[in-house]
Structure 1
Amino acid sequence: MRLSELSGKELVDLKKAERLGILGQTDLEIDETTGHIKAFIIPSVKWFGFRKQGNEVRVPWHHIKKIGTDMIIIDIHEDHH
């Protein structure tokens, strides 16, 4: 799959079955030593469940459960404080 193919997919929360938004301009955080994808970096409009870093949201790769033809299923682990 190409990075450009991720654009336009809908993000869906696995546990809540909620639509979180449509992926637009997605960037990747890549581990320089292994070449593995560590996270999606998404310019945020409104996001819940993820830690904001400035104007963007970091979605760790291990939260992504399935990338389908038109959606990406993510499992958000809620932090209990």
Structure 2
Amino acid sequence: MRLSDLGDKEIVNLANGSRHGQLADAELLFDESQGKIKAILVPDYHGRMSFLGSKDYLQLPWNSIRKIGEDIIIFESSEI
């Protein structure tokens, strides 16, 4: 699977069913020394805007991803 194939997938928390937008709206956080994805940074639309209107982000650790399906990415986190 290519990174471009992931963009339209909805991000959903398995723990509580909350939706966190599409991966195309998110950022990826990389470990430069190992070349691995550390986390997905998802815009926090439910929180308040920070200074000068910039968005806050929720950090979803890559190891919390449980399944990448055809239309959805499921992660599990009780903290969010």
TM-score by length of 2: 0.71
Question: Could you tell me whether the CA contact under 8 Å between 1:8 and 1:22 is conserved in 2?
Answer: no
Map of 1:68 onto structure 2: 69
State the AA in 1 paired with 2:66: K
Identity %: 38
State the AA in 1 paired with 2:41: I
Report the CA distance between 1:44 and its aligned residue.
2.1
Map of 1:37 onto structure 2: 37
**Equivalences for 1:22-33 in 2 at 5 Å?**
22-23=21-22, 24-33=24-33
State the AA in 2 paired with 1:22: G
Measure, in 1, the Cα distance between the counterparts of 2:78 and 2:18.
16
Alignment partner of 1:59: what SS? strand
Return the structure number with greater helix share. 2
Alignment partner of 2:25: what SS? coil
Report the CA distance between 1:41 and its aligned residue.
1.3
Relative distance call for 1:12 and 1:3 in structure 2 (3 A) is: same
**Equivalences for 1:8-23 in 2 at 5 Å?**
8-16=8-16, 18-23=17-22
> Considering only aligned residues, what root-mean-square deviation do their CA atoms show, in Å?
2.2
Report the CA distance between 1:19 and its aligned residue.
3.7
In the alignment, structure 1 segments of 5+ residues that lack a partner are 48-53
